[in-house]
Chain A
Amino acid sequence: MISEDGVRDQETVVVIDDDYAMRLSCHQILAKMGFRVEEFEDGARGLEGVSRLKPSLVVVDLKMPGIGGLEVVARIHKLDPEIITVVITGFATIGTAVDAMKSGAYDFVPKPFSPDELRVIVNRGLERRRLRLDSKRHEQERELMRRRFVTFVSHQLRTPLVAVHQYLDVLKHLPEGPDAVEKRAEWMERCLVRTDEMQQLIKDWLTLAEVEGGALTRERVAVDAAPLLSGLVDRLSTMAAEAGVTMTCQVPEDGLPLLGDAAALSMLFENLLVNAIKYNRAEGRVAVTAEGRDGEAVVSVADTGIGIPEEYRDAVFDEFVRVKGEGAKKTTGTGLGLPICKRIAGELGGVIELESHVGVGTTFRVRLPLHRPVQTAATAGGDA
């Protein structure tokens, strides 16, 4: 039979046994499973072969002249602990099994064994190797992400600090005169803006950490999103008016019941509304619409801003990504607002999507499960 999956064809298995007949039968069983099989007749040649071939799995006879099986197992384990070793033993006692395991063997097969017995152990061993390699790779990826994140955070925190420091240091060196007086006044304002930016960054960063830890979204109470949204629109109307942006809000009259944390939900929608105002054009519009359909609450926040270029559409939900463009240049932001929104939506069992047309506008759509209180008091927790 040919192997079931293509990956296995790439894998190498080494057999180390001084018994020709045993090597041959192992070779046949393993080759039929689709492996590339290499065999060696003693421990020394076997170890040399293992370090050269880097196999996924090694079958080792325990009793061999020269370097013994236990020693071979120990050296392979030292060479690469991810190589699975299976020991063949003629005298399968608890004692030898324990010794082999102690040396780093994965399992052992007592002689005589059927092809099926070897196959089962080999498959199980390789499955374990795959899982271990996968988790190792994920660990490395996480570590890389973490380091990248630290670099980003320190850069983001340092940038406003550098700007402020540079203003102060240059002011000290500028020759006195009307020019310096004018600069001083102008730059003091800029220093305040930049220190505010740092404050906001630290605040958002902490919020993100809280959402991540679940602390912000822990509470599960019935929240009506309809008054929540119209309240937010009212509260932000001054900001919108200052930016020359008109806001409209359309929510179901009989309410939009959600189950979640009121503060987190409010933060989620407020972030989206503030973005829609900030990244809009003069005389632009922000349309908030909400409806319940198919068990879902769908809240849309549509702006008439510059739009998000295609290459940024996935990345805007990542930390510290800010779309660079003519319209966005003058806008301050920490690049953490949308990651916070995405996390909150996710924690509450929902998703956030975006649709954007460059030069026309962007619509963010939040989908959250509708909360339908159970009708009969006798049955509890029966959300369908």
Chain B
Amino acid sequence: MAVAATVLLIDDDEDFCASIRSLLEAEGYGVVTAASGKEGLRKLAEVHPDVVLLDVMMESTTEGYAVSGAIKVGAVPVPVIMISSVEYGPAELFARSEEMEMIRPDAYLTKPVDVAKFLDTLKVVLARRAPVPK
């Protein structure tokens, strides 16, 4: 069966990855996981995902921002959904400076994610770039 879209999930928590993977696979997505920013960027080049789900606090407290920056300046634009339990409001954070504006993700969700809202966000972000899955 062909997958609707391929999702690259970058998160250092194995359990979070396991639950999100099952959820997405049940919804017909293909899922590739990476446990660090470095591994994530390597897999990004290997599997060419349709969307990246990105944690923020991994080995360093701002690793996700660095990864988002690397993706945004990369040759092939891939939408990024940041998923983090970081407290402060992302809108305000990314408006703080030009550098932060550059790495602004396409969507931002707070952990733990609400399943319905998460799946909706994923569809919306993917729909912005043709072809539309499903």
Contacts and interface: CB of A to CB of B under 8 A. Distances in A.
Interface of A: 151, 154-155, 158-159, 162-167, 169-170, 172-175, 183, 187, 190, 194, 324, 329
A166 B112 contact: yes
A163 B15 contact: yes
A174 B85 contact: no
B19 A166 contact: yes
Given A175-B26, A324-B59, A170 B115 contact: yes
B19 A170 contact: yes
Interface string B2-18: 00000000000101101
B112 A174 contact: no
A165 B20 CA distance: 12
A102 to B, nearest CB: 43
B61 A151 contact: yes
B85 A159 contact: yes
Nearest to A324: B59
Q: Chain B: interface residue count, which band?
A: 20 to 34
B118 to A, nearest CB: 9
Which secondary structure dominates chain A's binding surface?
A: helix
Given A169-B19, A170-B22, A174-B23, 12 more contacts: A151-B61, A155-B85, A159-B85, A166-B15, A166-B111, A166-B112, A170-B19, A170-B115, A183-B22, A187-B19, A324-B36, A324-B59
B85 A162 contact: yes
Contacts of A158: 85, 111
Interface in B92-113: 111-113
Question: Which of A167, A170, A324 has its CB near the most chain B CB atoms (within 10 A)?
Answer: A170
Given A158-B85, A169-B112, A174-B23, A163 B57 contact: no
A170 B15 contact: no
Interface in B15-65: 15-16, 18-20, 22-23, 26, 35-36, 57, 59, 61
25 contacts: A151-B87, A155-B85, A158-B85, A158-B111, A159-B85, A162-B16, A163-B13, A163-B16, A165-B112, A166-B19, A166-B112, A166-B113, A167-B19, A169-B19, A169-B114, A169-B115, A170-B19, A170-B22, A173-B23, A174-B23, A175-B26, A187-B18, A190-B15, A190-B18, A194-B15
B13 A159 contact: yes
A311 to B, nearest CB: 11
A51 to B, nearest CB: 29
Nearest to B26: A174
B86 to A, nearest CB: 8
Given A162-B85, A166-B20, A187-B19, A155 B26 contact: no
Given A173-B115, A174-B22, A166 B59 contact: no
A157 to B, nearest CB: 10
A228 B94 CA distance: 55
Contacts of B35: 329
A174 B61 CA distance: 32
Looking at B18, B19, B22, B36, the one whose CB has the most chain A CB atoms below 10 A away is: B19
Nearest to B112: A165
B20 A170 contact: yes
Nearest to B111: A162
Contacts of B61: 151, 155
A166 B61 CA distance: 21
A277 B26 CA distance: 40
A214 B60 CA distance: 31
Contacts of B59: 324
Contacts of A165: 112
B111 to A, nearest CB: 5
A362 B83 CA distance: 36
Contacts of A151: 61, 87
B6 to A, nearest CB: 19
A164 B18 CA distance: 11
B23 A170 contact: yes
Nearest to A167: B19
Contacts of A173: 23, 26, 115
A170 B18 CA distance: 10
A162 B18 contact: no
A194 B14 CA distance: 11
Contacts of A190: 15, 18
Contacts of B16: 162-163, 166
A260 B66 CA distance: 47
Contacts of A164: 15
A162 B13 contact: yes
A250 B36 CA distance: 41
Contacts of B22: 170, 174, 183
